[in-house]
Amino acid sequence: MLHDTAVVILAAGQGTRMKSRKAKVLHRAGGKTLVRHAIDAALEIAPPGRIFVVVGHQAEAVRAEVEAAGVGVIHQTEQLGTGHALMCGEAELSGLGGSLVVCMGDCPLIRSEALAGLAESQQSSGAGATLLTTDLDDPTGYGRIIRNADGTVREIVEHRDATPEQRAVREINSGVYSFDAKAFWRHVHEIRNENPAREYYLTDMVAILIRAGRRVEAHKIADSSGLLGINNKVELAAADRIFRERKVRELMLAGVTIEKPETVTIDSGVQVGADTVIGPFAQITGDSVIGENCHIGACSIIHSSVLGDEAEVFPFTLISSSRLDAGAHAGPFARLRMDAHLGAGAHVGNFVELKKTKLGAGSKSMHLAYLGDSVIGAKSNIGAGTITCNYDGRNKHATVIGDGAFIGSNSTLVAPLEIADGAYIGAGSTITHNVPARSLAVGRARQVLKEGWKKKGL
Ligand code: UD1
Ligand code: CA
Q: Are residues 156 and 267 in the same domain?
A: no
Q: What is the mean pLDDT of residues 332-346?
A: 98
Q: Distance from first CA to last CA of the chain, Å, rounded?
A: 90
- Alpha carbon 347 to chain centroid distance? 29
Residue 231 banded pLDDT, cuts 50, 70, 90: very high
**Do 200 and 336 lie in a common domain?**
no
Task: Name every residue whose Cβ is closer than 8 Å to that of residue 107 and which is 6 or more positions away in sequence.
Answer: 38, 174, 175, 176, 227, 228, 229, 230
Say which DSSP state 445 is in: P
Domain co-membership, 112 together with 156:
yes
What is the CATH number for 386? 2.160.10.10
Among candidate residues 263, 288, 316, the one where a domain is terminated: 316
Final residue belonging to a domain, choices 316, 350, 369: 316
Is residue 299 located within the same domain as residue 373? no
In this structure, the answer to whether residues 108 and 198 fall within a common structural domain is yes
Secondary structure class of 66 (helix, strand, coil): helix
- The amino acid occupying position 413 is L
* Backbone φ, ψ for residue 157 (5° rounding): -115, 125
Q: H-helix or E-strand containing 248? A: helix 233-253
Instruction: Indicate whether residue 83 lines ligand 1 (CB < 6 A).
Output: no
Query: Which atom of ligand 1 has the smallest separation from the CA of 57?
Result: 26
Cβ-based burial of 68 (10 A; exposed 0-12, middle 13-18, buried ≥19):
exposed
Residue 247 within a domain: no
Evaluate: CB of 134 within 6 angstroms of ligand 1.
no
Express each pLDDT in 144-168 by its tens digit. 999 999 888 999 999 999 999 999 9
- Residue 325 maps to a domain: no
DSSP 3-state of 258: strand
Residue 237 within a domain: no
Domain containing 123 equals: 5-227
Q: Report whether residue 89 contacts ligand 1, using a CB cutoff of 6 Å.
A: no
CB 353 within 8 A of CB 369: yes
Decide: 214 in ligand 1 pocket, CB within 6 A. no
Residues 211 and 342 in one domain: no
Percent of the chain at pLDDT > 70 equals 100
- Could you tell me if the CB of 201 is within 6 A of ligand 1? yes
The last residue of one of the domains, among 208, 227, 246, is: 227
Q: Mutation test of ligand 1: which of 37, 63, 104 has the most ligand atoms closer than 8 Å to its C-beta?
A: 104
Cβ atoms of residues 218 and 145 within 8 Å = yes
Q: Report yes or no on 322 lying in a domain.
A: no
pLDDT at 339 over 90: yes
Residue 23, domain CATH: 3.90.550.10
Does residue 378 sit in helix, strand or coil?
A: coil
For the segment 309-327, the average pLDDT, to the nearest whole number, is 98
Q: What Cα–Cα distance (Å) separates residue 261 from each residue in 138, 240, 277, 325?
A: 28, 14, 11, 26
Q: Which of 54, 82, 157 to mutate to test the pocket of ligand 1 (most atoms within 8 A of CB)?
A: 82
Q: Once rounded to an integer, what is the mean pLDDT over residues 307-325?
A: 98
Task: Indicate whether 326 belongs to any domain.
Answer: no
Same domain for 63 and 155, yes or no, is yes
Question: What's the pLDDT band for 457 if we cut at 50, 70, 90?
Answer: confident
Helix (H, G, I), strand (E, B) or coil at 457: coil
Q: How would DSSP label each residue in 94-150?
A: TT--SEEEEEETT-TT--HHHHHHHHHHHHHHT-SEEEEEEE-S--TTSPEEEE-TT
CA distance 268 to 249: 11
Domain membership of residue 245 (yes or no) is: no
182 and 133 together in one domain: yes
Q: How many domains does the chain have?
A: 3
The DSSP code for 435 is B
Task: Compute the Cα dihedral for 374, 379, 380, 384 and give only its sign.
Answer: positive
Residues 220 and 258 in one domain: no
Banded model confidence at residue 3, pLDDT cuts 50, 70, 90 = confident
Ligand lying nearest the CA atom of residue 25: 1
Region of 283 (left: φ > 0; alpha: ψ -120 to 50; beta: rest) is beta
Place 14 in a pLDDT band, splitting at 50, 70 and 90: confident
Which ligand 1 atom is at minimum distance from the Cα of 105?
A: 30
Q: Encode pLDDT of 89-105 as tens digits.
A: 999 999 999 999 999 99
- 93, 115, 123: which is closest to 188 by C-alpha? 93
Query: How many other C-beta atoms lie within 10 A of the C-beta of residue 168?
Result: 10
Distances in Å between the Cα of 283 and the Cα atoms of 179, 253, 266, 269, 320 are: 41, 19, 6, 13, 11
- Within this chain, do residues 360 and 299 fall inside the same structural domain, yes or no? no
Q: Rounded CA gap, 187 and 249, in Å?
A: 44
Q: Any idea which of 39-53, 187-201, 348-362, 444-458 has the lowest mean pLDDT?
A: 444-458
Do 381 and 304 share a structural domain?
Answer: no
The answer to whether 245 and 225 are in contact (CB under 8 A) is no
**In-domain check, residue 238:** no
Q: Which atom of ligand 1 is nearest to the CA of 34?
A: 30
Does residue 458 register a pLDDT over 70?
Answer: no
Whether 262 and 339 map to the same domain: the answer is no
Q: Is 397 part of the annotated catalytic residue set?
A: no
Flag whether 236 is in a domain. no
